[in-house]
């Protein structure tokens, strides 16, 4: 499968030249195999998708980890939603109180957006997921709730023998004693276990995290530990804090490499980067 | 296999509180008890980790206000596991050391966002005789 990072910034898009190298668009990842396309999250990075020739059988699947604005703000600008010939499937976390349609409808309605959900031209199919397992084309996908405010899932995507895990918003260390080392007590561990590639939240440095505990995001050091405990083969740190410039991310990365030698390679995610598994 | 996030977060909360708390799965196996609950069980979580119903339910005897044995089905935690509703009761327990204490127990079900039932939480506190 081919994985292309379309947006790796957290919280809010950045346009400053100082964040140009890693990229300023919010969460969106394109996953392709055998002519089948998955779009993971619909942050502002969705506008970077090049759909030409990629939509097989006029169907696109968008998998939303959750409905925070930085993960859906690009949805209204996704052209297939306005194409009568296209079937768009949106998969998103179930809530105890409101349907996915009602919750997405808050975004697709004035004053936030001029077009109502009911007026989208495509054939729209919504799927509510929780601890779920489903197949789309060549992909077998597992989802389950992870630690983050509001209903939030992560995804484990298998194609053939390869596994890509996507948990862009996650705070597995939330608790009095931080991250629990027993995998049974570690949020998201089933999704990440021995994945070939893990794309995981790493918004803060440990110093920043101490003042932002409970906000739903990870310190980079915790993400390294999470990847180590779940024995992933390669890690990408994503959901970069909008306040972190390219220069700061370079420095932070160099320090992490020095302080935390890992058994697996890890990098800071860069917008536009491609991976083949 | 990891426990559902609802159980993991319940443990993290229990671990931060001063009241004794038990967390069980749907069949009553004790998945976690916090430090204050170790006094009630007379065992340390670090030593026992998770315990089956058979293991932990024999750790103390339950008696009603008149000193009669309290059948398991009348205990709040068991009632919650049976009907998936919150329950509350004040009764006496006698631990393995023979120490009797009057306690109140409130239990509630762990039901996730999608309506799935994952287990129950029981909160204990000592209740002096009025």
The DSSP element (H or E) to which B37 belongs, if any, is helix B35-41
Q: What number of other Cβ atoms are within 10 A of residue A113's Cβ?
A: 16
pLDDT band at B128 (very low <50, low <70, confident <90, very high): confident
B17 interfacial to chain A (CB closer than 8 Å): no
User: What average pLDDT score do residues A243-249 get?
Assistant: 98
User: What average pLDDT score do residues A154-177 get?
Assistant: 96
Residues B2, A174: C-beta atoms closer than 8 Å: no
pLDDT higher than threshold 80 for residue A213: yes
Going by the DSSP 8-state scheme, the letter that residue A97 receives in this structure is S
pLDDT higher than threshold 70 for residue B96: no
The span from the CA of A266 to the CA of A233, in Å, is 9
pLDDT band at A249 (very low <50, low <70, confident <90, very high): very high
Residues A189, B11: C-beta atoms closer than 8 Å: no
Q: What is the pLDDT of residue A66?
A: 98
B66 interfacial to chain A (CB closer than 8 Å): no
CB B89 within 8 A of CB A105: no
Least CB–CB distance from B2: residue in A95, A177, A184? A184
* Closest CA of chain A from B17, distance in Å: 10
pLDDT over 90 percentage in chain A? 94
Structure-derived torsion over alpha carbons of residues B56, B58, B64, B67, reported in degrees to the nearest 10: -150
The span from the CA of A115 to the CA of A187, in Å, is 37
Please state the ipTM of this predicted complex: 0.87
pLDDT tens for residues B16-44? 999 999 999 999 999 999 999 988 777 88
Residues of chain A neighbouring B15 (CB-CB closer than 8 A): 175-177
Q: Percentage helix, strand, coil, to 5, in chain B?
A: 30, 35, 35
**Phi and psi torsions of B48, nearest 5°:** -100, -30
């Amino acid at each position: 499968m081919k994985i292309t990072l379309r947006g790796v910034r957290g919280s809010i898009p950045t346009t400053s030249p100082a964040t140009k190298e890693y990229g300023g668009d919010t969460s969106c990842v394109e996953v392709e195999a055998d002519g089948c396309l998955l779009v993971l999250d619909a942050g502002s990075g969705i506008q970077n998708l090049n759909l030409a020739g990629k939509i097989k059988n006029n169907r696109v699947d968008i998998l939303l980890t959750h409905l925070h604005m930085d993960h859906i703000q690009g949805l209204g600008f996704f052209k297939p939603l306005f194409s009568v010939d296209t079937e768009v499937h949106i998969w998103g976390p179930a809530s105890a109180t409101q349907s996915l349609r009602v919750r997405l409808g808050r975004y697709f309605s004035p004053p936030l957006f001029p077009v109502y959900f009911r007026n989208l031209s495509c054939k729209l199919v919504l799927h509510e997921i929780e601890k779920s397992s489903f197949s789309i084309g060549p992909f077998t996908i597992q989802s389950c709730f992870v630690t983050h405010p509001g209903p939030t899932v992560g995804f484990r995507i298998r194609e053939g023998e390869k596994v890509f895990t996507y948990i862009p918003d996650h705070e597995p260390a939330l608790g009095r004693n931080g991250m629990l080392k027993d995998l049974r007590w570690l949020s998201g561990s089933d999704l990440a276990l021995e994945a070939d590639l893990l794309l995981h939240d790493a918004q803060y440095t440990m110093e920043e995290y101490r003042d932002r505990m409970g906000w739903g995001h990870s310190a980079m050091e915790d993400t390294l530990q999470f990847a180590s405990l779940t024995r992933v083969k390669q890690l990408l740190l994503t959901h970069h804090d909008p306040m972190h410039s390219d220069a700061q991310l370079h420095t932070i990365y160099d320090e992490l490499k020095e302080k935390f030698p890992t058994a697996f390679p890890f990098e800071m995610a860069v917008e536009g980067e491609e991976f083949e598994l | 296999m990891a426990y559902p996030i609802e159980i993991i977060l319940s443990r993290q909360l229990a671990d931060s509180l001063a009241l004794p708390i038990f967390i069980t799965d749907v069949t009553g196996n004790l998945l976690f008890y916090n430090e204050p609950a170790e006094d009630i069980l007379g065992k340390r979580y670090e030593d026992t980790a998770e315990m089956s119903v058979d293991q932990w339910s024999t750790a103390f005897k339950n008696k009603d206000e008149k000193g009669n044995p309290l059948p398991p089905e009348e205990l709040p935690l068991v009632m919650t596991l049976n009907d998936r509703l919150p329950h509350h009761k004040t009764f006496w327990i006698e631990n393995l050391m023979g120490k009797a204490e009057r306690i109140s127990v409130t239990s509630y079900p762990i039901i996730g966002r999608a309506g799935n039932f994952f287990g129950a939480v029981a909160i204990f506190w000592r209740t002096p005789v009025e």
